[in-house]
Structure 1
């Protein structure tokens, strides 16, 4: 499925994404290690059991955020994003554990037509991730450069 164009996004629209993903311990550790994360809370099961704040290993939060950011692509932005311009306001209000199933939701905050290039505009997205119990596990704001369907002349 192709992504939506700049014109398709309306501030206030909320998209609950259909794709969900169960997080595995192996995926989380691999992602954390690829990012050079050395915090034992995310990579050492024995340490986390003995010393962790929840008594068990946690999923690396940036891996959970990556899933939340990725599940929107096939529904919203595949093939119509020219690039990500900014990310901010990242929060991790609830930990993720191996075996949790994550889903995402995106709210459109705003959009601006490019003043310098007629074929594009900037859309501001608010991405949220939830676990299988509906608890918010991550959120962030993102600005993406999106193609226009009908560029102005």
Structure 2
């Protein structure tokens, strides 16, 4: 039986270069349902994310979107252009920052940059890539950023 090689939409490790940027074409407006489901599914009872009436009197005057949802969305949007089908494992997060809050109705634009590439010592067919992900709202404010390291497959030999 002949095995077909699938075309991967993501980028192979050896197709990446330090400084390469991905301005992801998918923009995403955060909804109340996104925030509510994520917050309750992770058992976070903070009124900051769930109680609109209580938050009316806060310094922000409204609910703030759960920052862990923002982090997940930021990285998730990047997958199709960078690692879909080529990732082996997520290795870690570093320098996670949320300089401005995200509110219900904010539309996020995600940008990814390749910061570092190195061959894996334990897996000859893979390398370790470090990305910087950034999320910007419709007002041009940086609302989230992080460094993410992952193990990514190299392009198979023909």
With the length of structure 1 as denominator, give the TM-score of the two structures: 0.94
CA offsets per residue over residues 111-134 of structure 1, 9 Å max, x none?
110122211010001100011111
SS in 2 for 1:63: helix
Gaps of 5+ in 1: none
Aligned residue pairs total 150
Shift of 1:150: 4.3
- Write out aligned runs for 1:51-130 (5 A): 52-130=58-136
SS in 2 for 1:55: coil
**Alignment correspondent of 1:27:** 34
Structure 2 Cα separation of the partners of residues 150 and 30 of structure 1: 40
Query: Which of these residues, 8, 11, 32, is aligned with residue 4 of structure 1?
Result: 11
Query: Which of these residues, 30, 45, 51, is aligned with residue 44 of structure 1?
Result: 51
Structure 2 Cα separation of the partners of residues 71 and 53 of structure 1: 30
Gaps of 5+ in 2: 1-7
Query: Which of these residues, 122, 126, 137, is aligned with residue 143 of structure 2?
Result: 137
Shift of 1:53: 2.3
SS in 2 for 1:41: helix
**Alignment correspondent of 2:5:** none
Moved over 4 A (4+): none
With the length of structure 2 as denominator, give the TM-score of the two structures: 0.91
RMSD of equivalent CA atoms: 1.2
